[in-house]
Structure 1
Amino acid sequence: MKRIAYIGCLGMIGVITTEFGVIGILPQLAEHYHISIEKAGILLSAFAMVIALTGPFMTLLASEFDRKKVMMTAISIFLITGIVSAFAPPFWLLLLVRILPAFLQPVYIAVAIAAATSGVNDKIKNEMMGIVLGGIAITMVTTVPLATWLAGRLNWQASFLVQALVTMIALIAIWKGLPTMPVKEKKSYGSQLSILKNKTFIISTTMNFFMIAAWFSTYSYFADYISKTKNMTGDMASYMLLLFGITGVLSNWLAGKLLGRSIPITAALFLSGTVIIPFALYLSEGSTIATVAVIAIWGFFYAPCFLNASAYMISAAPNALEFANSLATSFGNLGVAVGTTVSGWFIFHSGVAIAPWVGAVFGVAAIAMVGLRYLLERKQRI
C-alpha cells in the first residue's frame, strides 16, 4: 500500500505545483500583463473557486470509475495546462487553461487518498493519507521555490515548464506503477450525501474553510509581502520559500504521527500558528535573522493544514471517505479563494502589511469551530 501512497504523493506534487506555483511569480505576471498584483491573484483564487464549486459533484461522478484511469485523466489535463501556460498566452487564455484542471483536482486528491487507504487498518490510515498529502509539503520545498528561482533567473514561463515536467513524471509513474483499481463496492449517491446532515461534519467543514482562508490570506501574497515589508529580493523570496517548505516537510510528518493520537488537539495545535505568526512577523521588523526564523516557524505551522483539514473532516464522516475528502478539498479551496480575495481587498486599501492580520481573524474563527465541535460531541456523549 505504501507504493500506491508514494505514487499518489508524486501526483500530488504535480497537482499542487500547478495550483500554487504561481504564488512566487505573481509580481512577474502582474508586470508582464500590465495588471495589479490583486488582479494577478485571480489566477490563484479562480482556480480555487472552481474546485470549491464543482469538487464534490465531480468526485461523486467519478466514484464509479477505475481509480487508475481517473488519476491518469486528471494528471493529463494538468500536463496540458503547464505546456500551454509556458507559451505566455493572453491573460484570458492563461486564466482559462488554469481553470480547466481545477475541475479534476479534488477528484485526483480524493481518489489518490482512497486508493492509498483502501484495505489498511485504521491505525495507519492517517499515516497513508499523510504520505499522499505530504506531496503538498514536498512541493513547498522543491518545485515552488525552484519555479520562483527560475522565474528570477530566466523568465516566468520557465516556472510553467517546471509544472509540466513534474506532471509528466507523475503521469508516467501512475501509468507504469499502479495496477488497475476498479471500484469494488459502489456506494449510492444518497448514502454519501447523507453526511451533509451531520452537524459535527458541518462544523468541521466550516473549520476547514476558516483555517485555509487564514493561511492563504498571507501565503497567496508571500513574494509580494516579504519584498515590500521585509525588503527581500526575488532570489531571497525563492530561498525563503525553500526554507518554508523544509520546515513544512518536517511538520507534515509530525502531524501525520500526532493525528493518530488526537485529531482535535493536533488541529488546534497547528491552528494556533494563524494567530502567533502575525505577531511574530510584526516583532521581527528590521531584523533579517528574526524574519528568517519566523518564516521557518510559519512553514512549520502552515504545512499540515490540508492534512489536518482532511483528517478532521473524515473523522466526522468515516463511512464516506472519498466524498468527505472531496468536500475537504472543495471547502479548503473556497478558503483559498476567499482568503486571497478578502486579503487582496485589504491590501489594495491598506497595503500588503495588513495581510497576516486578516489571516489572524480567520484563524480565530477556525479555533472557535474546533471548540464548538468539542462542545457538541461532549453533549452527545452525555
Structure 2
Amino acid sequence: MKKYAYIGCLGFIAVITTEFGVIGILPQIAEHYHISIDRAGMLLSAFALVIALTGPFMTLFVLGFDRKKIMITAISIFLLTGIISSFSPPFWLLMLVRILPAFLQPVYIATALSVAVSKGDKKNENELMSIVFSGVAIAMVSTVPFATWLASKLSWEYSFVIQSIVSLIALFVVYFFLQNMPVREKKSYGSQLKILKQPTFIISTAMNFFMISAWFSTYSYFAEYLNKAKGMDNTMVSYMLLLFGIVGIIANRVSGKMLNKNITNTTALFLSGTILIPIFLYFSGTNTIAVMFVIALWGFLYSPSFLNASTYMISSAPNSLEFANSLATSFGNMGITLGTTIGGWIIATKGVQYTPWLTLVFGILAFTMIIIRRYLEKRSTPLQNKIV
C-alpha cells in the first residue's frame, strides 16, 4: 500500500523545507545580522550536528511509542520553529529554534520509512522508501525555490512563513489520514546495537559520511556560489533551485527502481556526480546555458543521495531498518556539518569558487569505501561457503 509512503513523503517535504530552506537565503541572513556567510552557515551545520550526535539515541528511545504520535510530535516542533523564525528573532534565538527540531528529524525519517514499508511487499521495499525520500526532491522543486524566490522579492522572513505553512499541511494530513500505529513488539536494544560490530556496516556508514560531506561542501552554499562564481542574482538562483528540484524528482524515482535491482551499482552511479560536477562547474565558466546544464545534472545525481545512502547502509543490516536508517541520517548529517564547515572555511580563506574541489576530494573517499566493502563481501563469501 503506497498511501503510507505518500503520507511520509509529505512530512518529509516539511522536514526538508525546514532544514534546507535556509540555503537559498543565507546571504540575506548574513546581511541582516551583519555576520559573515560562514557564520550564517552555522544555521545549517548546527542543525546537522545535533542530528548527527543525537539521532540514533533518540530513535532507540522512541522504538516503543505509537508511530503516528511520533510523527505528529516531530512535525509540530518543525511548525513551531518556522513560526518563531519568521519574526526575525535575535540570531542566538534563531539558532536555538533551528536546533530544537533537529532532535526529532531522524526520528521522523526512520518512523516514516518504517510505516511505509510495513504495509507493502518486501520486494518493493526500496521503491516505497524512494517515495518517502522523494520528499527531498519535491521540496527542492517546490517549497525551497519558492521560499527563496519569495525572499528575493520581499524579505528572508517569508521563507520561514512558507516552511510553517508546509509543516501545518503535513501535520493536518498525518493527524487525519494516518491510523494509530502502536508498536506490538519492541525490539531489544541489544538486537539493534549488534550491527555496530559488522565491518560492512561500518564501511557503509563511512561511505555515507564522505558522500554527504562531498555534496554539501558546495551545495550548502548553492546561492553564494551562483552569486559570486557564476554572477547570478537571487531571482536567478531561485530558478536554478527549481531546475535542480525538477530533475531531482525524476532522479529519485529512477534511483528507487534501480536500487531494487542492484544497490551497490546504483549508489556508485549517482556518487559519480561528486567527481563529475566539480569538473563541469569549472569548465562551464559563466556561460548561463552551460551552467544550467550542469545544475540539471547536479540535481539528478545529488537528489537520491539520502535514499542511496540509507539503502546502502540498510542492505548491510536488513533486520535493523529503523536503527540503521537513524544511523544513516545521523552520519549523513555529520557529513553535512563537516562539508558545510570546511566549505565555509574555504570560502573565508580562498573563495567560494574553490568549494567544488572539496566535493571531489570527499567523493574520492566515498568511492574508496565502496571498493573496501566489495572486498570485504567477496572475502567473506568463501568463508561462508566453507562453513556451509
Per the TM superposition, whether the score is higher than 0.5 is yes
1:105 is aligned to 105
2:54 is aligned to 54
> 1:270, 1:286 → 2: CA distance?
25
1:272 is aligned to 272
> 2:292, 2:319 → 1: CA distance?
43
1:241-292 Cα deviation digits (max 9, x unpaired): 0000011111111000000000000000000000000000011013111011
Q: Which amino acid is 1:16 matched to?
A: I
Q: CA deviation at 1:165?
A: 0.1
Q: Provide the TM-score with structure 2 as the length reference.
A: 0.98
1:357 is aligned to 357
Q: Which amino acid is 1:264 matched to?
A: T
1:3 is aligned to 3
> 1:286, 1:69 → 2: CA distance?
49
> 2:134, 2:63 → 1: CA distance?
23
Aligned 8 A contact 2:231 2:286 in 1: no
1:206 is aligned to 206
1:164 is aligned to 164
> 2:275, 2:347 → 1: CA distance?
19
2:322 is aligned to 322
1:86 is aligned to 86
Secondary structure in 2 matching 1:180: coil
Q: CA deviation at 1:120?
A: 2.6
> 1:38, 1:16 → 2: CA distance?
21
Q: Which amino acid is 1:164 matched to?
A: S
Secondary structure in 2 matching 1:88: coil
Q: CA deviation at 1:185?
A: 1.9
Aligned 8 A contact 2:55 2:326 in 1: yes
2:385 is aligned to none
1:268-327 Cα deviation digits (max 9, x unpaired): 000000000000001101311101110110000000000000100000011111000100
- The size of the alignment, in residue pairs, is 382
1:371 is aligned to 371
Root-mean-square deviation over aligned CA pairs:
0.6
1:186 is aligned to 186
Q: Provide the TM-score with structure 1 as the length reference.
A: 0.99
> 2:380, 2:3 → 1: CA distance?
39
> 2:286, 2:65 → 1: CA distance?
55
Q: Which runs of 5 or more structure 1 residues have no equivalent in the other structure?
A: none
Tell me, yes or no, if structure 1 residue 252 matches structure 2 residue 252: yes
Aligned 8 A contact 2:209 2:334 in 1: yes
> 1:224, 1:262 → 2: CA distance?
36
Tell me, yes or no, if structure 1 residue 344 matches structure 2 residue 344: yes
1:132 is aligned to 132
Q: CA deviation at 1:119?
A: 4.3
> 2:110, 2:258 → 1: CA distance?
22
Q: Which runs of 5 or more structure 2 residues have no equivalent in the other structure?
A: 383-388
Tell me, yes or no, if structure 1 residue 234 matches structure 2 residue 229: no
Q: CA deviation at 1:343?
A: 1.1
Secondary structure in 2 matching 1:48: helix
Q: CA deviation at 1:347?
A: 1.2
1:53-72 equivalence runs, <5 A: 53-72=53-72
Aligned 8 A contact 2:2 2:120 in 1: no
Q: Percent identity?
A: 65
Q: Which amino acid is 2:327 matched to?
A: L
1:106-161 Cα deviation digits (max 9, x unpaired): 00000000000014322100011000011001110001100100000010000000
1:285-296 equivalence runs, <5 A: 285-296=285-296
1:214-261 Cα deviation digits (max 9, x unpaired): 000000000000110110011000000000001111111100000000
Q: Which amino acid is 2:310 matched to?
A: S
